[in-house]
C-alpha cells in the first residue's frame, strides 16, 4: 500500500489556473489517474491514497475521490500548459 496524502482538502480549490494546492498534490493527482486507468475501485483508491475509510463515511470519501480525480483530469487537459510555460521560461 502507498502512503496516504499528508494534508488534503475535501475538495481541491476550483480555479482556471494552477494553485499551490495543485502543485503540492501533483503526485496524488497522477496516482488517482493511474488508479482510474487500472480500473481500481474508488473505495480502494480513496483508502490507499487518502487514508480514508469509505465504510465509515462513504459520502465524504466518494466526494473527496471524485473532486480530486476531476481536478486531476483538469490538470491533464489544461493545467499542464502552465507548467510547460514555466519550464520554458526557466530555460
12 CB-near residues (< 8 Å, 6+ apart): 19, 21, 22, 25, 67, 68, 71
39-88 tens-digit pLDDT: 999 999 999 999 999 999 999 999 999 999 999 999 988 877 776 677 66
77 CB-near residues (< 8 Å, 6+ apart): none
The predicted pLDDT at position 30 comes to 94
**Residue 9 near residue 21 (C-beta atoms within 8 A):** yes
Site of grid cell 494534508: 7
Helix (H, G, I), strand (E, B), or coil: what is residue 57? coil
The predicted pLDDT at position 1 comes to 47
Q: Taking residues 29-36, what's their average pLDDT?
A: 96
Full-model pTM: 0.84
The predicted pLDDT at position 87 comes to 66
Q: Return the DSSP state at 76.
A: I
Amino acid at each position: 500500500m502507498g502512503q496516504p496524502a499528508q494534508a488534503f482538502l475535501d475538495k481541491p480549490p476550483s480555479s482556471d489556473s494552477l494553485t499551490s494546492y495543485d502543485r503540492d498534490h501533483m503526485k496524488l493527482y497522477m496516482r488517482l489517474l493511474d488508479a482510474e486507468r487500472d480500473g481500481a475501485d474508488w473505495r480502494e483508491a480513496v483508502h490507499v491514497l487518502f487514508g480514508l475509510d469509505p465504510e465509515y463515511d462513504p459520502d465524504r470519501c466518494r466526494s473527496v475521490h471524485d473532486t480530486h480525480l476531476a481536478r486531476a483530469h483538469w490538470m491533464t487537459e489544461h493545467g499542464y500548459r502552465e507548467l510547460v510555460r514555466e519550464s520554458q521560461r526557466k530555460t
